[in-house]
Amino acid sequence: MNLFTETNLSPDILKAIGELGYESPTEIQKQTIPFILSDIRDLIALAQTGTGKTAAFSLPILDMIDDTSRKIQLLVLCPTRELCLQISKDIKNYSKYMKDIKTTAVYGGSSIVEQMRSLKEKPQIIVGTPGRVIDLINRKALDFSAIHWLVLDEADEMLSMGFKDELETILSETPETKQTFLFSATMNKEVERISKNYLTKPHRISVGSINEVKKNITHEYYVVGYRQKKEALKRLIDANPNQYSIIFCRTRMETQEVADFLMQNGYAADALHGDLSQAQRDTVMKKFRLKNIDILVATDVAARGLDVNSLTHVIHFSLPDDPEVFVHRSGRTGRAGKDGISMALIKPEESRKLKQIKSATKIEIHERTIPTGDDIIKAQVGGVFEKLLTEHEDLFEFDDSLIPDLSNFTKEELVHQLLQFQLKDLALYYKDKHDLVEQKLSSRDDDYSRRDRRDRDRGRDRDRGRDRDRGGKPRRKDENMVRFFFNLGKKDHLKKLDVLDIINKATAGGKSKKRAEIGDIEILEKFSFFEVEKSFKDNVLSNIQSMKFKGKDMRAEVAN
Q: Point out which residues pair with 484 in neighbouring strands.
A: 530, 558
Class of domain 4-206: alpha beta
CA distance linking residue 90 with residue 95, whole number of Å: 9
Mean pLDDT of 237-246: 93
Q: Point out which residues pair with 345 in neighbouring strands.
A: 222
Same topology, domains 212-244+310-442 and 450-558? Answer is no
Provide the pairing of β-strand 125-128 with 103-106.
parallel
What's the gap between Cα 219 and its chain centre? 19
450-558, CATH topology level: Alpha-Beta Plaits (3.30.70)
> In the chain, pLDDT over 70 holds for what percent of residues?
88
pLDDT tens digits along 194-214: 888 889 999 999 886 544 556
Q: How confident is the model at residue 244 (pLDDT cuts 50, 70, 90)?
A: very high
pLDDT tens digits along 40-61: 999 999 887 667 899 999 999 9
Instruction: Determine phi and psi for 93, rounding to 5 degrees.
Output: -65, -40
Could you give the 3-state DSSP secondary structure of residue 85?
helix
Least reliable range by pLDDT among 108-117, 244-253, 421-430, 527-536: 421-430
HEC assignment per residue over 239-265: CCCCCCEEEECCCHHHHHHHHHHHHHC
Give me the pLDDT at residue 424, please.
79
Task: Report whether pLDDT(474) > 50.
Answer: no
Q: Point out which residues pair with 522 in neighbouring strands.
A: 529
- Burial class, 245, CB count within 10 angstroms (exposed 0-12 / middle 13-18 / buried 19+): buried
According to DSSP, residue 436 is labeled: P
- Determine contact, residues 490/525, Cβ cutoff 8 Å: yes
Range with the largest mean pLDDT of 32-46, 387-401, 479-493:
32-46
- Determine contact, residues 55/29, Cβ cutoff 8 Å: yes
Whether domain 212-244+310-442 has CATH 3.30.70: the reply is: no
Structural domain spans, the chain: 4-206, 212-244+310-442, 450-558
Give me the pLDDT at residue 448, please.
42
Q: Point out which residues pair with 245 in neighbouring strands.
A: 295, 313
- Determine contact, residues 180/147, Cβ cutoff 8 Å: no
Greater confidence (431 vs 285) lies with 285
According to DSSP, residue 400 is labeled: G
Residue 388: how many other CB atoms lie within 10 Å:
11
Give me the pLDDT at residue 453, please.
47
Q: What is the largest CA-CA distance in the chain?
A: 92
CA distance linking residue 148 with residue 245, whole number of Å: 40
pLDDT tens digits along 343-394: 999 998 888 889 888 988 889 999 999 999 889 988 888 888 777 777 566 6
Residue 518: how many other CB atoms lie within 10 Å:
17
Q: How confident is the model at residue 152 (pLDDT cuts 50, 70, 90)?
A: very high
Does the pTM surpass 0.75? The reply is: no
Q: Give 112's contacts (C-beta < 8 A, 6+ positions apart).
A: 132, 135, 136, 139
Give me the pLDDT at residue 79, please.
87
Q: How confident is the model at residue 155 (pLDDT cuts 50, 70, 90)?
A: confident
Q: What is the DSSP string of 328-378?
A: HHHTTSS-TT--EEEEEEE-TT-HHHHHHHHHHH----EEEPPPPHHHHHH
Q: Give 183's contacts (C-beta < 8 A, 6+ positions apart).
A: 45, 47, 53, 56, 57, 151, 152, 153, 154, 155
Give me the pLDDT at residue 270, please.
95
- Determine contact, residues 235/376, Cβ cutoff 8 Å: yes
Q: What is the DSSP string of 283-310?
A: HHHHHHHTTSSSEEEE-HHHHTT---S-
Write the CA distances from 161 to 157, 164, 535, integer angstroms.
6, 8, 32
What phi-psi label fits residue 392: left (phi over 0), alpha (psi between -120 and 50 degrees) or beta? Answer: beta
